[in-house]
Amino acid sequence: MLRTLDVRTGGKTEFIDLTSRVQDVVRESGVSEGLCHIFVPHTTAAVTINENADPSVKADILMVLNKIISDNEPYRHAEGNSPAHIKASLVGPQLTVLVSGGRLLLGTWQGIFFCEFDGPRSRRVHLKVISG
């Protein structure tokens, strides 16, 4: 089963929790045991798994990424969004999560986050749920 989620971001950099939306797709797929592959088809966005209980964790991650990958470097890319490309490359465009008992097999505090690095924008996230 292939499904595409639409994501609308509101800030230049932000993490958006997709966990419940991805879980809904897994449930709708009817797959009890298998994999859920999550892919972001954008060069200035990414996807990651991290803590979703305390919102300060995602704020801290963004703070450090924004500090390490400064907007104030002599980048050559004409569009002016080189920092976003670098952040997206470091975090990565895809994840695979195990599915067991019809649910994402995530840890107690883990969530799936869409990572915006060049917003605000309208984005897509592709999900492929595979039985097996």
- CA 120 to chain CA mean position, Å: 15
Question: For residue 128, is it left (φ>0), alpha (ψ between -120 and 50) or beta?
Answer: beta
Q: What is the CA radius of gyration of the chain?
A: 15
**What percentage of the chain has pLDDT greater than the value 70?**
100
Confidence at 14, pLDDT banded by 50, 70, 90 = very high
Q: Tens digit of pLDDT for each residue in 63-101? A: 999 999 998 989 999 898 999 999 999 999 999 999 999
The predicted model scores a pTM of: 0.96
Question: In angstroms, rounded to a whole number, what is the distance separating the alpha carbons of residues 57 and 4?
Answer: 27
Question: In angstroms, rounded to a whole number, what is the distance separating the alpha carbons of residues 45 and 121?
Answer: 10
Give the model's pLDDT for residue 78: 86
- CA 119 to chain CA mean position, Å: 14
Give the model's pLDDT for residue 16: 97
Mean pLDDT of the chain: 97
Question: In angstroms, rounded to a whole number, what is the distance separating the alpha carbons of residues 90 and 102?
Answer: 31
* Domain CATH code at residue 39: 2.60.120.460
By residue range, what is the domain housing residue 21? 2-71+79-131
Give the model's pLDDT for residue 94: 98
Q: Tens digit of pLDDT for each residue in 40-56? A: 999 999 999 999 999 99
**What percentage of the chain has pLDDT greater than the value 90?**
94
Question: In angstroms, rounded to a whole number, what is the distance separating the alpha carbons of residues 92 and 57?
Answer: 18
Q: Number of structural domains, the chain?
A: 1
**CA 68 vs CA 29, 72, 94: distances in Å:** 40, 11, 22
Return the closest-CA partner of residue 94 out of 51, 53, 36: 36
